[in-house]
Amino acid sequence: MSDTEDDFEYANISESGSEDSISSDSDAESDDDITNLNSVRNWYQISVDEAAPPPPRFLFSPKPTQTFQLSDEQSILEYFRLFFDDELLNIIVTETNRYAEQQHGTSSNKSFAVTKNDILIMLAITILQGIEKKPVERMYWSTREIFSSPIFPKLMSQTRYLRIKRYLHFTNNEDYNPLSPIFPKLMSQTRYLRIKRYLHFTNNEDYNPLNHPNPKLNKIWPIYDNINKKCSRLYTPERDITIDESLMLYKGRLGWKQYMPLKRSRFGIKFYLLCESKSGYLYNSIIYTGKGTILSEKYKNMPLTSQIVLSLADSLLDQGYCITMDNYYTSPLLADYLISRQMTYGTMRINRKDLPTELQKKKLKKGEIIAFQRGKLMTMKWRDKKDVCLLSTIHNPTQVATNKRNKDGNAILKPKLVVDYNNTMGGIDRFDQQLHDYPIPRKRGKKYYKKIFFHLVDFCVYNAFILYRRTAGQKDHLEFRANLVENLISEYHTGLRTATTEGRPKVPGPIRLSERHFPEFIPPTEKKNSPTRCCAVCCKQRDEKGKRKRKETRYYCKPCDKGLCAVPCFMIFHTKLDF
């Protein structure tokens, strides 16, 4: 369990600045010098006041860059579609429709029939809900004036929205083996809920727990794997990266649900994340699933925490990256391995193996430091409000002045290692904070894989925002999300076209077109050539005994997805707030 938040307060510094004390020819030192440093296997105490220069950094070879091409317009939507491309959408559409058919048969599925546009509009609604927060979901479609948000019913009816959410699926259930130990204003509300209900991501008929790459994540694996690979492929991070845990709120029943009292959510599904320190861009992630957590086989002989770090950073090794970690991961054993592949620094638990005995036993007063060197490794203990034990391959125990002052007006000193740690370790916290400001998976749900899916949508939106800002985008995070919703609506909603701040509207007069409603015959089904539905107005009335009336009609309003008598109910429904 990480206790980074208790060690010391993160400093708001934008650049590490560790290279200021390193000579210009540090990177040119010979391999023999580094070999000699690494050959020293015994710890020896070093002076804090007369510290030798810090060990040199390895040469950082990658050039931070993006690996994608956009059109000349570079619209916000294009950045999001880098992660949510047609390949990913086709999986969701196929499995959601399959799941709806498995639940209710082909006749019901024909009227449901989710498309890629439906999924994108549903995502637009969900992102918008993270910006415009309401206590309960049904209030987004409320006709009461004090609650009204007109854009939601224009995009999708409440019924369809909830149906989409209900059937949202990512695998084929028919392939699931119950004997296996793995149990792992755009649209009407009705359609939205149907899409969510049937949303599915894999074909259950293809599922075999014996050869699946991650059986516990079977329900979400194709989507998670697809998005995770895109995050690593689309962008090369800067030199300083950080590894830490993040907790996604989930209170349903799940064998590998975690309790982390220091996290904001406390209960939920744990993610191990590797992020760029400066921006918080998510480069790689691993979902914790208990003993079944899938880590790289190459590192199976190492301790679990080292396996996590190396599995996350595998594609970045041997390139000079500098990883910052908290005391849950940092150890001399891992640092020794990383010296041969790159470098590291971070806090460390005082009881780690292979640490100097005196480091553990020495009692320090506030502000005092004791430090030891072993080859390229430097470990130190610094007394602040409590003992803080750190390890680095690129620092010495030198102290630097901070912006804070003591009672006498003198600048407070901190070890340079502490200042750099505070700066670079904030990447995960920055990422978590940005997602918490406009959360997508706000509503409680019983199905863990749908919760993970909407959390992955959050990942994609934030990463798209970082790529947008790196290519000279000026909008802040909130404005980016709002523009993304407008772009999704303009591009993929057939009944409503909005004029966004980027470019001209797709078609003229969008509001006029979206607010016109006409009665239509309810389309025939396989069982009935002339089907009927309950009239939404008539069936709301009560008879003399207080029972609700029931009246069938052959007409309905397609945009509203409501059965309505042609006269006078159609006019009443569209002109009166209460009827």
For residue range 289-339, list pLDDT tens digits in order.
988 888 999 898 999 999 999 999 999 998 889 898 888 888 888 888 888
Q: Which residues pair with 347 in a beta bridge?
A: 390
Q: Describe the chain by its helix, strand, coil percentages, rounded to 5.
A: 40, 20, 45
Residue that has been written with the tokens 């003399």 in this structure: 544
List all residues 6 or more positions away from 172 whose beta carbon is below 8 Å from its beta carbon: 95, 98, 200, 202, 203, 204, 205, 206, 207
Distance from C-alpha of 22 to C-alpha of 391, rounded to nearest angstrom: 18
Q: Report pLDDT for 474.
A: 82
Taking CA atoms, 139 is separated from 154, 491, 559, 560, in Å, by 14, 26, 19, 16
Q: Helix, strand or coil for residue 257?
A: coil
Q: Provide mean pLDDT across the span 428-456.
A: 79
Q: Provide mean pLDDT across the span 69-84.
A: 81
Q: Provide mean pLDDT across the span 103-117.
A: 72
Quote the crossing angle between the two packed helices 477-492 and 426-437, to the nearest 10°. 50
Contact between 449 and 170 under an 8 Å Cβ cutoff? The reply is yes
Q: Provide mean pLDDT across the span 276-281.
A: 90
Q: Report pLDDT for 107.
A: 53
Residue that has been written with the tokens 């595998």 in this structure: 314
Q: Report pLDDT for 515.
A: 58
List all residues 6 or more positions away from 237 whose beta carbon is below 8 Å from its beta carbon: 64, 276, 281, 283, 316, 321
How many residues are listed for the chain in this entry?
A: 579
List all residues 6 or more positions away from 552 whose beta carbon is below 8 Å from its beta carbon: 532, 533, 534, 535, 563
Distance from C-alpha of 509 to C-alpha of 147, rounded to nearest angstrom: 26
In the DSSP assignment, the letter for residue 316 is: G
Among 289, 271, 176, 177, which residue's Cα sits nearest to residue 227? 271
Q: Which amino acid type is present at position 52?
A: A
Q: Report pLDDT for 71.
A: 65
Q: Provide mean pLDDT across the span 257-282.
A: 88
Q: State the burial class of residue 362 (Cβ atoms within 10 Å of its Cβ: 0-12, 13-18, 19+).
A: middle
Which one has a higher pLDDT value, 436 or 274?
274
Q: Report pLDDT for 504.
A: 37
Contact between 402 and 392 under an 8 Å Cβ cutoff? The reply is no
| Per-residue pLDDT at 11 exceeds 60 | no
The string of pLDDT tens digits covering residues 207-233 is 777 777 788 888 899 899 999 999 999
List all residues 6 or more positions away from 396 whose beta carbon is below 8 Å from its beta carbon: 46, 51, 52, 53, 54, 371, 378, 416
Its pTM stands at 0.71
Q: Report pLDDT for 154.
A: 87
∠ CA(20), CA(23), CA(28), 5° rounding?
Answer: 130
Across the beta sheet with 562-563, the strand order is: 519-521, 555-557, 562-563
CA dihedral 126, 130, 133, 137 (to 10 degrees): 30
Q: Report pLDDT for 208.
A: 76
Q: Helix, strand or coil for residue 129?
A: helix
Among 532, 469, 470, 475, which residue's Cα sits nearest to residue 501? 475
Residue that has been written with the tokens 């970045």 in this structure: 316
Tell me which of 52-66, 238-252, 516-530 is least confident: 52-66
Q: Which amino acid type is present at position 461?
A: V
Q: Report pLDDT for 111.
A: 66
Q: Report pLDDT for 110.
A: 58
Mean pLDDT value across the chain: 79
Q: Report pLDDT for 2.
A: 40
Tell me which of 11-25, 37-51, 459-473 is least confident: 11-25
Q: Report pLDDT for 197.
A: 79
Q: Which amino acid type is present at position 384?
A: D
CA dihedral 109, 110, 116, 118 (to 10 degrees): -80
Q: Report pLDDT for 440.
A: 74
Q: What percent of the chain has pLDDT over 90?
A: 18
Taking CA atoms, 21 is separated from 345, 368, 398, in Å, by 17, 22, 10
Which one has a higher pLDDT value, 274 or 36?
274
Distance from C-alpha of 361 to C-alpha of 492, rounded to nearest angstrom: 65
The string of pLDDT tens digits covering residues 508-560 is 333 323 456 888 999 888 888 899 999 988 988 888 777 878 899 999 988 77
Distance from C-alpha of 306 to C-alpha of 295, rounded to nearest angstrom: 10
Q: Helix, strand or coil for residue 413?
A: strand
The string of pLDDT tens digits covering residues 140-190 is 898 888 888 888 888 888 888 888 888 888 877 665 444 333 222 567 778
Q: Which residues pair with 369 in a beta bridge?
A: 382
Q: Report pLDDT for 492.
A: 83
Q: Report pLDDT for 265.
A: 77
Q: Report pLDDT for 498.
A: 43
Contact between 261 and 252 under an 8 Å Cβ cutoff? The reply is no
Contact between 322 and 394 under an 8 Å Cβ cutoff? The reply is yes
Which one has a higher pLDDT value, 67 or 541?
541
The string of pLDDT tens digits covering residues 463-503 is 999 999 888 778 889 999 998 988 888 888 765 444 444 44
Taking CA atoms, 506 is separated from 81, 182, 487, 517, in Å, by 19, 48, 10, 21
